[in-house]
Amino acid sequence: MPLKTWNGSSWVSATGLKVWNGSSWVAAKTGKVWNGSAWTQFFSSDTVTISDDNVAADAVYESDFDFNTATYGIRSNGTIDASHTSTNGGGSDGTTNGTNWITPTSSASLYEVRATKVSGDTPNAGSALNTWLACTTNRSWALYLTGVGVLNCVLTIEIRDAATQTIRDTATITMMAKNQN
């Protein structure tokens, strides 16, 4: 449960908390309480930001060995991997490729990510769907296509604080892998 403060008319999520470090007031990065057996985080000043994105892999099919892969991933180093791989070029990466999903990036291991298929084809490569996965390792979902055809998928990506299980941000990701003659 996130820390809430009363603003005079309603309870709101705490932001901008300060603590005394012995000589001055400094921004609190986290807050923990003793739950009887361990210290548990109840507040974090980390900024989690993921945006809706489109990831497309579109190329010309030339042989039975040609492939296209559209991938969306949350990396353990705090960045997003929205990219495509193709044997014959073409395609476009997502607009958020390489951007940070968390600031500071060193806090990535404190979070979990879940991908849920909203519509279309089920990703056929990468991490599990509908399961909270620790961001201590890279997580990704991909449409892998060989031969002529099109695969499309819409995913909801959620990131939550592992300690409090508070969802910090959500995005809709549209992916396409296409091979055409």
We report the CATH number of the domain holding residue 157 as 2.60.40
Is there a single domain that holds both residue 132 and residue 62?
Answer: yes
The pLDDT of residue 148 = 84
- Res. 54: pLDDT tops 80: yes
Is there a single domain that holds both residue 34 and residue 57?
Answer: no
Is there a single domain that holds both residue 26 and residue 105?
Answer: no
Is there a single domain that holds both residue 89 and residue 126?
Answer: yes
- Res. 107: pLDDT tops 70: yes
**Which structural domain range is residue 150 located in?**
48-180
Is there a single domain that holds both residue 163 and residue 127?
Answer: yes
Contact yes or no for 53/95 (Cβ under 8 A): yes
The pLDDT of residue 156 = 98
What is the reported pTM?
Answer: 0.74
Is there a single domain that holds both residue 20 and residue 75?
Answer: no
- The structural domain count of the chain equals 2
The pLDDT of residue 112 = 97
- Res. 14: pLDDT tops 90: no
The pLDDT of residue 42 = 64
Is there a single domain that holds both residue 143 and residue 125?
Answer: yes
What digits encode the pLDDT tens for the residues 113-130? Answer: 999 999 999 999 999 999
